[in-house]
Amino acid sequence: MTILIIILAVIVFWFVLAYNGFIRLRTRSNEAWADIDVQLKRRYDLIPNLITTVQGYAAHEKEVFTRVTEARSQAMQAEATGDPAATGRAENMLSGALKSLFAVSEAYPDLKANQNFLELQQELSDTENKIQAARRFYNGNVRDLNIKVQSFPSNLIANWFKFTKKEFFELEEDSAAKDPVKVNF
């Protein structure tokens, strides 16, 4: 009888630890996504200032400004859905549009020397680094959660309480999309 009680206590203890582990991993994943969200919003806020600064020097480059503005809008809409795959695709488009903007700015030496532009460039570079770090943190937490959801015997608890796998926040396989936005002039 004592052995049965000990076995039952061990099972209950394991059950509580496993359940709390799922809660911890899900919460960390959600927190990590919130970190990405904050950095993406910061990026979205910087882009209009950058466009305004560049427009003063390169007013005839309307197509580039339009493409960046549209990509920013699409990225903001995708990010609002909370879907990492859609957000990743939209962010790839925005990164490409920003690369075009910086390529245009290279043709204007006065712009490259403009203090406001240099500060915006530095802030955007810093934000890109923070997005990359937040993406790694999120993907690490998602990896841990997904392993636990699929591993036996914790998958029994995952199925019982409907803990599910999360999607990674990945860049497309396009090698150009994996390059960070270059802001060197």
pLDDT in tens for each of the 185 residues of the chain? 899 999 999 999 999 999 999 999 999 999 999 999 899 999 999 888 888 888 777 766 778 888 888 998 999 998 888 888 888 889 888 888 888 888 777 777 776 667 777 888 888 889 989 999 999 999 999 999 999 999 998 999 999 999 999 999 886 654 444 455 554 43
105 and 27 Cβ atoms separated by less than 8 Å: no
Q: Does 86 reside within a domain? A: yes
At residue 124, the 3 state secondary structure works out as: helix
pLDDT of the residue at 59: 67
Q: Is the distance from CB of 75 to CB of 87 less than 8 angstroms? A: yes
Establish if 17 belongs to a structural domain: no
Q: How far apart are CA 160 and CA 18, in angstroms?
A: 12
3-state secondary structure of 73: helix
Q: What is the pLDDT of residue 136?
A: 93
166 in any annotated domain: yes
Q: What integer pLDDT is reported at residue 177 of this predicted model?
A: 47
pLDDT at 171: 67
Does residue 20 lie in a domain region? no
> Distance from CA of residue 75 to its chain's centroid?
11
16 belongs to a structural domain: no
Domain total of the chain:
1
Residue 184, pLDDT score: 43
Q: Which of 45, 58, 38, 180 is nearest to 123 (CA)?
A: 45
User: Whole-angstrom Cα distance, residue 3 to residue 6?
Assistant: 5
Helix, strand or coil, per DSSP, at residue 176:
helix
Residue 13 lies in a domain: no
Q: What is the CATH number of the domain that holds 98?
A: 1.20.1440.20
Q: Is residue 102 assigned to a domain?
A: yes
Range of the domain at 67: 29-178
| Domain annotation covers residue 2 | no
